Amino acid sequence: MLHPQNMSAFRRYSAALLALYGAVAAAVIGFGLTTPPYVGDLTRLGGYREDSFGWRAPQLRYQPPLYVTDRIEADTDVLVLGDSMTVHRSGEQTDNGTYWPNWLAAETGWRISALHRNEHTVEEVLAMPDYQAHRPKLLILEFVERAISGLDRLTDAAAHRYGCGVSEPSGQLPVAAPLLGAVAASTAQPRSFFRSEPAQPWLDFSIGGHRLKHELLRRLVPDLTETASFTLTRADLFSNAQPQTLLVLREDLAKIDFPEQRLQRLDCGLRALQQEVQADGRTRFVVMIVPDKLSAYRPYVRQLPEHYPNLIAQLARDTPLVLPRMDLAFDLALAAGTQDLFLPNDSHIGAAGHRLVAETLLSELRRRGLIGD
């Protein structure tokens, strides 16, 4: 039998524990009743309110899309091996008709196919019967800037086979491949659309618990969260309700103190891939790096982390690669006030960003003389 003093302590402990459980249950129910369903990956990963960070200005898309994914069609002019900036996968909000290959196809009339780089290596693509039967004129390797740290899977085999002995001056390519045909714009026109808003359930315990967890993590141990937020010096760059708060993936910060040696090794691997792709004497190789969200908005970020790098600029120094400077194009677009270049609730670019990617690529191809008369 418990001593009266111990019994009193036990009752106080039980009451405190029940009060804590009650507070947690009340918070979960409250958040479950009031938190809208998530649409963007950053709102979902960070437990942020969709009605605070969801974009409000209309986007543009092509319906039906003007390129194909997950297969190589006959007579493909441009084949893209890309990531979620190019190919849609479940759980991502970007509309199929918004992606940049639509804008490139609309401007040129080229036939474009795209595969996901997480599902195929370059060597696997080159060995595909459909590739062998219909070699494209351009093979574009697209990846987002933060993926630089994990590209060994795509470059190591070529680096071992070819090395990095590509030293052509001024980025001139050694292969006398046929040029792409003259630009002939499509008659397709993009259509306006708004952000989808899933129906609000009466009570969603999973959203309530998710929101509570992330509210606590952000206040107590923010380094354990998958997202980070920064304050912007401008309020005109997003169309959401909190336009001066920038949500990003915490992974964007992993580039700080990125070793120069690893960047050189990546450059070597990409040069080797260029040799491997262009060995057929027909296909040209293009490397296209989309800036991370934090990289793109860095001129307007208060308290940007010290030594935050621009890996695209570093990789572009004295390289023979065809590497459109997306970082410079994004700088100019944001300086001009382009809204929703990235979606405010997401780590992916919006329709304005996809259009800019296509325009920047096309401009670089013209500059290189890769588009015929």
241-271 residue pLDDT tens: 999 999 999 999 999 999 999 999 999 999 9
DSSP output for 96-124: TTTSHHHHHHHHH---EEEEETTT--HHH
Same domain, 145 and 259: yes
Q: What's at 203, amino acid-wise?
A: L
Examine residue 22 and state whether it is found in any structural domain, yes or no.
Answer: yes
When the pLDDT of each residue in the chain is averaged and rounded to a whole number, the result is 89
Same domain, 292 and 144: yes
Full 3-state SS string of 61-91: ECCCCCCEECCCCCCCCEEEEECCCCCCCCC
**Per-residue pLDDT reduced to its tens digit, 27-47:** 667 666 777 889 999 999 999
Same domain, 284 and 355: yes
Examine residue 44 and state whether it is found in any structural domain, yes or no.
Answer: no
- Average of pLDDT values for 344-369? 97
Same domain, 25 and 66: no
Same domain, 17 and 99: no
Examine residue 204 and state whether it is found in any structural domain, yes or no.
Answer: no
Examine residue 214 and state whether it is found in any structural domain, yes or no.
Answer: no
**Per-residue pLDDT reduced to its tens digit, 38-71:** 999 999 999 999 999 999 999 999 999 999 999 9
Same domain, 97 and 4: no
Tokens of 200: 């609000």
- The domain total for the chain is 2
Count of CB atoms situated within 10 Å of the CB of 198: 10
% of the chain residues with pLDDT over 70: 89
Tell me the β-bridge partners of 81: 115, 141
> Which domain range does residue 2 map to?
1-34
The CATH number that applies at residue 334 is 3.40.50.1110
Better-scored residue on pLDDT, 234 or 156? 234
